[in-house]
Amino acid sequence: MADVNLQLVREFFELNMFAVLTNWQRENLRQRASDSSLQVFVENVNPALPHDLDFVLNPVEIGAVERALVEVRAWHADKFYPSVIESSPVLWQFVSPESLGFAREIFGSRPFKSILVISELPASPEPRARAIQLLQTAGIDHVLEFSSVLRDLLDKVSMHENYTSSPTLQILRLMKRYKLVRNQQLEFAFPNEPSAAGPPPQIDAVVECDAEPGEDPGL
């Protein structure tokens, strides 16, 4: 079975009008590219006018990307803290000279970007800035967070369509159809829940702390 993370990323690009070539579509790709099962090559069939893009891409900006080598390293169990990046050189293997040279063969020497798809970056400014710096220093052009991929898929999938050729899109469609997700916050809906009597309870705000694994959040 194809990797679900890669399948969702592939369909994200397809719904954004990209032609997508996966490594299993051509036998020689599997032989030439290291860990090629995590990669796709994408080319925009109708690119927007080029302009400066943020390092962390969002779906609105993706239309300005003409073509790209995309590596999927979702790792949903955690955020991509600086310590995670520093201890994981596998993250930038796809921008090695050999890998980029092979991508140039695929794209016919036309310019392209490298995009790394990850779970998410830290929310706190300091570790987020450090994580971005490490990825940029490694030679990666852009990062795409998986939450952006899922939100855009949910936005574009129609509950009235029947996606028989795509189990992943069909599941997203059914979740929308039965109101299990709604709007961009992916809120869970409970339409039959009775309204609470009296004033709503007061709940103290919870502030998310971006302490790295093993670090005391109180320090």
Domain total for the chain?
Answer: 1
Q: Tell me the HSE value of 58 on the side-chain side, using a 13 A CA sphere.
A: 3
Q: 60-87, pLDDT tens digit by residue?
A: 999 999 999 999 999 999 999 999 999 9
Q: Looking at the domain assignment, is residue 134 inside a domain? A: yes
How many CB atoms are closer than 10 A to CB 141? 18
Q: Looking at the domain assignment, is residue 91 inside a domain? A: yes
Q: Looking at the domain assignment, is residue 197 inside a domain? A: no
CA angle, 97 then 99 then 103, to 5°: 110
pLDDT(5) > 60: yes
Helix spans in 59-124 (H): 82-86, 97-106
Q: 162-198, pLDDT tens digit by residue?
A: 999 999 999 999 999 999 986 544 444 444 444 444 4
Q: Looking at the domain assignment, is residue 72 inside a domain? A: yes
| SS3 state at 93 | helix
pLDDT for residue 31: 46
Q: What is the mean pLDDT of the chain?
A: 83
Global confidence as pTM:
0.80
Q: 126-155, pLDDT tens digit by residue?
A: 999 999 999 999 999 999 999 999 999 999
| SS3 state at 181 | coil
Q: Looking at the domain assignment, is residue 187 inside a domain? A: no
Q: Looking at the domain assignment, is residue 150 inside a domain? A: yes
Q: Looking at the domain assignment, is residue 214 inside a domain? A: no
Which residues span the domain enclosing 14? Answer: 4-154
pLDDT(207) > 80: no
Q: Looking at the domain assignment, is residue 119 inside a domain? A: yes
